[in-house]
C-alpha cells in the first residue's frame, strides 16, 4: 500500500539530483536548437520551391524513419553506455546541421531531406535514451518530478523557442538561425559530458537485449503494453492540434514568417478561419497559448495532485476526458478567443497524459526493457503523427469541415480514456486478487 508523502519542490529537486540538472540543461538547449532548425528548414525549402509536396516531405523525413528503425534503436539503448549514446547522437546532429548550413547556399533539396532525416533519427535516439536514463539518475519516489520537468521544458520551448527561432530567421536569415542551432547543440553536448557513465543494468547482468525479448515481455505484461500505448493514442486524438505543418506554404510578409497551412489547425485558425484576426501575430498567440497550457499541465498539475501511483493512473483517464471536452469546445468555436481557450484547455490535459503516462512506465516497467519500450513508444508516436496528419489532410481535401475532423479526434480521445479505464480497473482487480491469494 502506498504511503502519502510530501512531494519534493522543483528547486530542491535540482539540488538533490545534480546529475539530472545537467541532463535537463542539455535537453533545454537541444529543444531550443530544434525549433531554430525546424523554422529555418521550412523557410529554406520555401525559398527553393513553392511546392506543398516539398514541405510535406519534410514531415515525412522527420517522423517515419524513426518509426521504421525502432526495433534497432531500442536494443542499442539497452546495450551500450547511454551517456556515450547521447553524446554520439548529439554529435551526429551537429555534423548534419553543419552540412545544412552549407546546403543553405545551394538549391539541393535531396541533400536537405537526407540531413533532415538523419537529424530526426539522431533526435529519436536521443529522446528515447534520455527517457530511459531518467530512472538511472532519479529514484522511483521522485520520478514524477523529473517527468514533469522534462515535459515542462518542452512546453516552455514551444512557447519561447519557436518565437525566438522565427524572429531570428525573419531578421537575420536562415544561415544565422542554423549557426545558433549548431551552437546550442554544442553547448548541450558539454552538459552531457558532465553526466556519469550510464551503463544499463541489463548489460551489467549480461541479460538478453534483443528486441524480440521485449515483445515477449510485453505479451506477458499486457498492462505495461497498454501503458506504452497511452501517448500514441493521445497523439492520434491530438494530432490536428500539435502537428507542425504537413503541407502548406511559408511566406514572408513584412519580415514575419507566416504559416499558411492546409492541414494543421493552429495555423488555419490563426490565418484563415477568422478573417478579422489573421496573420503571424494570431498564429503566434495560438502556439504560445498551447505552450502555456502544456506548462500548466506538466508542472502545475503534479504539484496539485501529487505522485501516488493510483493518482497517476486516474489522472491519465482525466487527461483523455479533458482532451475530449476541449476538442468538442474547439469544434464549436465561433471566435478567435474561444479557439485560444480551447487550445489552452486541450494542452493542459494532453500534457497531463504525457507526464503521468511517462511516470507510470518509469515506475512499473522492468528497467531492463526501458530502452526498447521507450523507443517503441516514441516510434509509434511519430508514426501516428505522420499518418494522423495525412488522414486529417485527406479528409479536408475530400470536403470535410474542420469541425468534423475535430469531432472525430474528440471521439478518439473519449475511446482512449474508456480503454485506459478498463485496463486500469483490470490491473487493480488483479493486484487485489494477488494480495488476497498470497496474503
User: What is the 3-state secondary structure of 323-382?
Assistant: HHHHHHHHHCCCCHHHHHHHHHHHHHHHHHHHHHHHHHHHHHCCHHHHHHHHHHHHHHHH
Q: What is the mean pLDDT of residues 152-164?
A: 75
Does residue 3 form part of some domain? no
Paired strand residues for 257: 252
**Predicted confidence (pLDDT) at residue 268 exceeds the cutoff of 50:** no
pLDDT reported for residue 251: 30
Paired strand residues for 256: 253
pLDDT reported for residue 127: 86
Helix (H, G, I), strand (E, B) or coil at 259: strand
**Predicted confidence (pLDDT) at residue 21 exceeds the cutoff of 80:** yes
pLDDT reported for residue 202: 65
Higher pLDDT, 377 or 63: 377
**Predicted confidence (pLDDT) at residue 265 exceeds the cutoff of 60:** no
pLDDT reported for residue 243: 36
At 118, which helix (H) or strand (E)? helix 109-137
Higher pLDDT, 17 or 52: 17
Q: Cα angle vertex 32, ends 29, 37, to 5°?
A: 120
Paired strand residues for 261: 248
Name the residue among 227, 209, 210 with its Cα closest to residue 374. 227
Cell of 436: 488476497
* Dihedral of alpha carbons 192, 195, 201, 205, sign: positive
Q: Which residues contact 61 (CB under 8 A, 6 or more apart)?
A: 113, 114, 116, 117, 120
Does residue 203 form part of some domain? no
Does residue 306 form part of some domain? yes
Does residue 400 form part of some domain? yes
pLDDT reported for residue 285: 60
- Which long-range contacts link 66-69 to residues 24+ away (Cβ below 8 Å)? 66/120, 66/121, 66/123, 66/124, 66/378, 66/379, 66/382, 67/379, 67/380, 67/382, 67/383, 67/386, 68/379, 69/121, 69/379
- Measured in Å, how far apart are the chain's first and last C-alpha atoms? 13
pLDDT reported for residue 281: 46
pLDDT reported for residue 198: 86
Q: What is the DSSP secondary-structure string of 221-240? A: -HHHHHHHTHHHHHHHHHHH
pLDDT reported for residue 185: 94
Q: What is the mean pLDDT of residues 20-37?
A: 89
Q: Structural domain tally of the chain?
A: 1
Tens-place pLDDT, residues 269-286: 444 444 454 444 455 566
* Average pLDDT score, the chain: 77
Does residue 229 form part of some domain? yes
Tens-place pLDDT, residues 171-188: 888 888 899 999 999 999
Higher pLDDT, 264 or 26: 26
**Predicted confidence (pLDDT) at residue 249 exceeds the cutoff of 60:** no
d(CA 250, CA 263): 14
CATH of the domain at 43: 1.20.1250.20
Does residue 6 form part of some domain? no
Name the residue among 233, 236, 227 with its Cα closest to residue 386. 236
pLDDT reported for residue 381: 84
pLDDT reported for residue 191: 95
d(CA 296, CA 318): 15
Could you give the angle at which helices 143-156 and 336-364 cross, rounded to 10 degrees? 150
Does residue 133 form part of some domain? yes
Buried b / exposed e over 16-35, threshold 16 CB at 10 Å, is ebeebbbbbbbbbbbbbbbb
Checking DSSP bridges between strand 256-261 and strand 248-253, what pairing results, if any? antiparallel
Tens-place pLDDT, residues 302-356: 778 777 888 889 999 999 999 999 888 888 877 777 877 888 888 889 889 988 9
Does residue 202 form part of some domain? no
- 9-13, 155-159, 355-359, 386-390, range with the lowest pLDDT: 386-390
Phi and psi at residue 116, in whole multiples of 5°? -65, -45
Q: Whose grid coordinates read 496573420?
A: 279
Name the residue among 251, 65, 34 with its Cα closest to residue 157. 34
Helix (H, G, I), strand (E, B) or coil at 69: coil
Q: Whose grid coordinates read 527561432?
A: 165
**Predicted confidence (pLDDT) at residue 432 exceeds the cutoff of 80:** no
Phi and psi at residue 335, in whole multiples of 5°? -150, 165
Q: What is the mean pLDDT of residues 134-161?
A: 82
Predicted confidence band of residue 90 (pLDDT cuts 50, 70, 90): very high
If you average pLDDT over each of 34-48, 165-179, 234-248, 422-436, which comes out highest?
Answer: 165-179
Q: What range does the domain containing 76 cover?
A: 15-197+210-438
Look up the pTM and report it.
0.74
pLDDT reported for residue 434: 56
Amino acid at each position: 500500500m502506498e504511503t502519502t508523502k510530501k512531494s519534493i519542490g522543483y528547486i530542491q529537486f535540482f539540488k538533490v539530483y545534480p546529475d539530472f540538472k545537467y541532463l535537463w540543461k542539455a535537453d533545454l538547449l537541444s529543444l531550443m536548437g530544434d525549433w531554430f532548425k525546424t523554422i529555418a528548414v521550412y523557410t529554406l525549402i520555401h525559398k527553393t520551391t513553392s511546392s506543398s509536396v516539398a514541405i510535406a516531405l519534410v514531415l515525412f523525413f522527420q517522423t517515419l524513419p524513426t518509426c521504421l528503425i525502432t526495433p534497432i534503436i531500442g536494443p542499442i539503448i539497452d546495450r551500450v553506455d547511454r551517456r556515450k549514446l547521447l553524446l554520439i547522437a548529439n554529435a551526429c546532429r551537429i555534423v548534419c546541421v553543419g552540412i545544412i548550413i552549407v546546403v543553405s547556399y545551394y538549391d539541393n533539396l535531396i541533400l536537405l531531406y537526407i540531413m533532415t532525416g538523419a537529424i530526426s533519427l539522431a533526435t529519436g535516439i536521443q529522446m528515447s535514451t534520455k527517457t530511459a536514463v531518467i530512472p538511472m539518475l532519479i529514484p522511483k519516489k521522485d520520478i514524477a518530478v523529473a517527468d514533469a520537468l522534462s515535459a515542462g521544458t518542452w512546453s516552455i520551448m514551444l512557447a519561447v523557442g519557436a518565437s525566438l527561432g522565427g524572429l531570428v530567421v525573419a531578421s537575420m536569415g536562415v544561415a544565422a538561425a542554423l549557426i545558433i542551432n549548431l551552437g546550442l547543440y554544442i553547448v548541450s553536448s558539454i552538459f552531457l559530458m558532465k553526466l556519469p557513465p550510464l551503463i544499463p543494468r541489463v548489460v551489467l547482468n549480461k541479460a538478453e537485449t534483443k528486441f524480440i525479448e521485449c515483445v515477449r515481455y510485453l505479451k506477458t505484461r499486457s498492462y505495461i503494453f497498454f501503458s506504452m500505448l497511452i501517448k500514441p493514442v493521445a497523439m492520434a486524438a491530438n494530432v490536428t492540434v500539435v502537428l507542425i505543418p504537413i503541407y502548406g506554404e511559408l511566406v514572408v510578409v513584412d519580415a514575419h514568417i507566416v504559416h499558411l497551412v492546409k492541414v494543421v489547425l493552429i495555423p488555419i485558425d490563426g490565418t484563415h478561419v477568422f478573417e478579422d484576426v489573421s496573420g503571424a501575430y494570431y498564429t503566434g498567440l495560438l502556439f504560445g497559448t498551447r505552450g502555456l497550457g502544456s506548462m500548466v499541465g506538466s508542472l502545475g498539475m503534479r504539484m496539485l495532485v501529487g505522485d501516488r501511483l493510483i493518482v497517476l493512473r486516474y489522472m491519465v483517464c482525466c487527461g483523455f476526458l479533458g482532451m475530449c471536452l476541449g476538442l468538442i469546445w474547439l469544434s464549436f468555436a465561433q471566435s478567435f478567443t474561444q479557439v485560444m481557450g480551447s487550445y489552452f484547455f486541450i494542452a493542459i490535459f494532453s500534457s497531463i497524459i504525457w507526464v503521468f503516462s511517462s511516470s507510470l512506465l518509469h515506475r512499473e516497467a522492468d528497467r531492463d526493457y526501458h530502452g526498447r519500450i521507450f523507443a517503441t513508444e516514441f516510434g509509434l508516436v511519430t508514426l501516428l503523427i505522420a499518418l494522423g496528419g495525412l488522414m486529417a489532410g485527406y479528409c479536408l481535401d475530400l470536403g470535410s469541415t474542420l469541425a468534423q475532423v475535430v469531432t472525430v479526434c474528440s471521439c478518439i480521445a473519449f475511446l482512449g480514456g474508456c480503454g485506459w479505464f478498463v485496463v486500469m480497473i483490470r490491473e487493480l482487480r488483479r493486484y487485489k486478487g494477488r494480495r488476497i491469494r498470497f496474503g
